[in-house]
Amino acid sequence: YSFADEVGGSGIATCNGTVVNGAAIDTATLGNQGFTVTAADNAGNPASVTVNYDVVDVTDPTASILTPTDGATYAQGASVAAAYSCADEVGGSGVASCLGTVADGAAIDTATLGVHAFAVVVTDNAGNSATTTVSYTVVDATNPTATITTPADGATYAVGTGVVVDYACNDE
């Protein structure tokens, strides 16, 4: 910054800014900031100039997914509650929304076998957004069943009797 007195003036006595000339202005704090330079000439005439500038949040917020765990395997029908959180950087604009595939604390899908994706989308008040995604697998963990109707357990048969076997197997 600089100030100058008019041609033939008394000359500059002081010229000071809210930050020393050549130093960096404040860009660590979000919002509208001001920078002022004041001057006085040798005749005691003052002058002041202020400029305003905006410091904006350009950092994406973050989402952390605790459950489901990435790569986890869950039994079909298991009760598994989603657990996640969202944050913006310290001094940031703040979290505007934090939305998961289901609400935090709600049950995730374990009814359908196979690989599933679970995502959380976070947006901050400055409009920056990020998505975190994990995958998990739902497996059939139930043993099949077998029932034998004939021969009956503990039955007695005469030698040479024709006994027809009757059994069934089931898987859910």
Predicted pLDDT of residue 3: 62
DSSP string, 9-78: S--EEEEEESS-TTSPP--SS-EEEEEEEEEEETT--EEEEEEEEEE---S--EEEEEESPTTEEEETT-
Predicted pLDDT of residue 1: 65
Answer whether residue 74 shows pLDDT above 70.
Answer: yes
Predicted pLDDT of residue 29: 86
Predicted pLDDT of residue 33: 94
Predicted pLDDT of residue 34: 94
- When pLDDT is averaged across residues 9-20 and rounded to a whole number, the result is 91
Segment 103-150, tens digit of pLDDT: 999 999 999 999 999 999 999 999 999 999 999 999 998 889 999 999
User: Using 50, 70 and 90 to split pLDDT, how confident is the model at 171?
Assistant: confident
Under 8 Å between Cβ of 148 and 155: no
Q: How many CB atoms lie within 10 A of CB 94?
A: 13
**How many CA atoms, within 13 angstroms, populate the side-chain half-sphere of residue 126?**
18
Answer whether residue 154 shows pLDDT above 90.
Answer: yes
- Return d(Cα 97, Cα 60) in angstroms, integer: 13
Residue percentage of the chain with pLDDT more than 70: 97
Q: Which two tokens stand for residue 25?
A: 């202005």
Predicted pLDDT of residue 91: 87
